[in-house]
Amino acid sequence: MEDSQVLLLAQADLETNYAESSVFERYMRLLLQSREVALQERVNATLSQTSGEKYQHFVRQYPTIVQRVPQHVIAFYLGITPESLSRVRRQL
C-alpha cells in the first residue's frame, strides 16, 4: 500500500547478532514481547468488543492510518465486514 524498506536477516545472522550484542538481543526481546502483548490484546478485543468499540480503539491507536488505508483493509484487520465498518463510521 505504501513504499517500504524491509530488512531480511537469515536465522544464522540473527543468532550471530544476538551473540555479539547484548543490546541488540535485549532490544529484539522487548520488541517481540510488546508484539505478543499487542497480539493478545487484539485477540481479546476481537472476542469481546462490538464493531464500534473495535473501530474506536483502532482510531485511537492508529489515527493516521484511517486516512491512508482502504476501508476494506481496516475492516479485515478488525474482523468485521466492510459493510459493518461503513455502518459504524456513519453512526460515529
User: Is the Cβ–Cβ distance between 26 and 33 less than 8 Å?
Assistant: no
Same structural domain, 27 and 53: no
Same structural domain, 42 and 11: yes
Same structural domain, 33 and 6: yes
Same structural domain, 40 and 67: no
The CB-side HSE value for 20 (13 A sphere, CA atoms) comes to 6
For the cut 90, the answer to whether the pLDDT of residue 45 exceeds it is no
Among candidates 8, 84, 82, which has minimal Cα distance to 51? 84
How far apart are alpha carbons 54 and 68 in whole angstroms?
18
How far apart are alpha carbons 14 and 7 in whole angstroms?
11
Q: Nine-digit cell at 86?
A: 461503513
Confidence of residue 46 (pLDDT cuts 50, 70, 90): confident
Same structural domain, 63 and 36: no
Range of the domain at 42: 1-48
The rounded percent of the chain whose pLDDT value lies above 70 is 100
For the cut 90, the answer to whether the pLDDT of residue 54 exceeds it is yes
Total domains in the fold of the chain: 2
Tens of pLDDT, residues 3-19: 999 999 999 999 999 99
Same structural domain, 41 and 71: no
pLDDT at 2: 86
Same structural domain, 78 and 40: no
More confident residue, 47 or 36: 36
pLDDT at 52: 95
The rounded percent of the chain whose pLDDT value lies above 90 is 83
Helix (H) or strand (E) holding 15: helix 11-20
